[in-house]
Chain A
Amino acid sequence: MRSMRNVKRDVARAPVRVGRKADDAMLEHLLRELSAAGESSAVRRTQAGPHLMRPMAYVASVAIITVVVAWLLSAGRAPQSHEPAPVTSGIGLLTEISLERAFRHGGIQAVESQFRRALAAPAGKPTTPSFEELLTELAGNEKDIGGTSL
Chain B
Amino acid sequence: MKAIIGNRFGKTLLFAVMVTWFASSARAYPPDNAAVLYYRAFMLYEAEDGIKSTLDDYRQGRIGQNEEIERYLAKNAPIIKMVLDATHIDHCDWGLDYSQGTEVLLPPHHKAREIFFLIAAEATRQADIGHPRQALEDCVCMYRMANHLNERPLICYLVATAITAATNKCVVRFLSEMPPDVETLTWLRDELAALDQQPFSVYPALDWKREAGVISMAPERIEGVVQAGLDEGDLKKRALERIRTADPQFYARNIVYWNSFLSRVQAAFHKPYEAARVEIQELDKQPAKDFDRNPDATLTACLAPTFLPIHFLSVRLQAQSNAVRAAVGVYLSQTQTGRLPETLPAGSLGDPFSGKPLQYEKADDHFVLRWQEKENPQKAGARQYEFKVRP
Task: Report A's interface with B, CB cutoff 8 A.
Answer: 82-87, 91-92, 94-101, 103-104, 108, 111-112, 115-116, 119
Contacts and interface: CB of A to CB of B under 8 A. Distances in A.
Given A100-B154, A103-B158, A95 B105 contact: yes
Contacts of A82: 244
A85 B224 CA distance: 9
Contact of B231 (A92, A94, A95, A101): A101
A118 to B, nearest CB: 9
B315 to A, nearest CB: 17
Given A111-B110, A111-B155, A101 B105 contact: no
Contact of A100 (B108, B155, B224, B232): B155
Contacts of B56: none
A17 B106 CA distance: 44
A97 to B, nearest CB: 4
Contacts of B36: none
Chain B, interface size category, equals 20 to 34
B234 to A, nearest CB: 15
A99 B230 CA distance: 11
Contacts of B153: 96, 99
B162 A84 contact: no
Top 8 A-B residue pairs of the complex, sorted by shortest distance between their CB atoms: A115-B110, A97-B102, A97-B229, A112-B110, A96-B153, A95-B103, A98-B228, A99-B155
Contacts, number: 74
Contacts of B318: none
B305 A115 contact: no
8 contacts: A86-B232, A94-B108, A96-B102, A96-B104, A96-B153, A98-B229, A104-B305, A111-B158
Nearest to A115: B110
Residue among B100, B153, B155, B212 with most chain A CB within 10 A: B155
B227 interface: yes
B162 A97 contact: no
A97 B105 CA distance: 9
A95 B305 contact: no
Contacts of A100: 102, 154-155, 229, 305
Given A87-B228, A101-B231, A104-B306, A96 B240 contact: no
A116 B216 CA distance: 26
B225 interface: yes
B25 to A, nearest CB: 26
> Majority SS of interface residues in chain B?
helix
Contacts of A111: 110, 155, 158-159
A82 B105 CA distance: 25
Nearest to B103: A95
Nearest to B213: A97
A87 B106 contact: no
A97 B106 contact: no
B223 interface: yes
Nearest to B224: A84
B169 interface: no
Contacts of B155: 96, 99-100, 103, 111
Contacts of B103: 95-97
B113 interface: yes
A84 B223 contact: yes
A112 B113 contact: yes
A7 B58 CA distance: 81
Nearest to A86: B227
A101 B212 contact: no
B154 A116 contact: no
B277 interface: no
A31 to B, nearest CB: 39
B319 to A, nearest CB: 19
Contacts of B244: 82
B242 to A, nearest CB: 14
Nearest to B208: A96
A95 B216 CA distance: 12
B109 interface: yes
Contacts of A92: 228
